[in-house]
Amino acid sequence: MHHQFITPAYLHTCTGYRVPRTADAGWLSENQYHIYDALAVYARVVPDIDPTTIKRVLTATRDGDALVVLYQHGGETTARVLFPSAVMVSKDDHLAVRAFCTYRREVRSFRVDRFMDSHAFVLPGETVAA
């Protein structure tokens, strides 16, 4: 079975709905079901990405929340607090998130397949909705 889910500007869901390769918080709020569907398909095509991680990234992007990740790059693993602003599929077909990084103190792009672990950033006394 051959899947053609990625085009230069869009991802496609199983139902044929077109999702932009870059989705920001506003788009996610209006169309979250469709991007979950498209990225779930994408995660099946690219099996190195945990669907739970994708959901956490999308939720943080949509809600303007912070995300704590263990990020592995160049043989180094660092803990990062990210404030995601957009989710995208890069030119080389990697799922990525555009986020402000408190570690580097700048906006950068991060490949989601390099997230070793992730969870919502929660302050003492706060709770995370299930």
The predicted pLDDT at position 102 comes to: 92
Q: Are 84 and 123 in contact (CB under 8 A)?
A: no
Amino acid code (one letter) for 86: A
Q: Token digits for 39?
A: 């990225």
Cα–Cα nearest to 69, from 48, 86, 52: 52
In this prediction, residue 83 carries a pLDDT of: 93
* 13-71 confidence digits (pLDDT tens): 656 666 666 777 776 677 666 666 666 666 565 667 777 888 888 888 888 889 999 99
35 CB neighbour count, 10 Å cutoff? 24
Categorize the per-residue pLDDT at 11 as very low, low, confident or very high, splitting at 50, 70 and 90. low
Q: What is the DSSP string of the chain?
A: -----B-SSEEE-TT--EEESEEEHHHHHHHHHHHHHHHHHHHHHSTTS-HHHHHHHHHHHHHT--EEEEEEETTEEEEEEEEEEEEEE-TTS-EEEEEEETTTTEEEEEEGGGEEEEEE---TT-----
Taken as a whole, the chain contains a residue count of 130
> What's the pLDDT tens digit per position in 92-117?
777 888 899 999 999 999 998 899 99
User: How is the chain split into domains, by residue range?
Assistant: 10-120
Strand partners of residue 22: 88
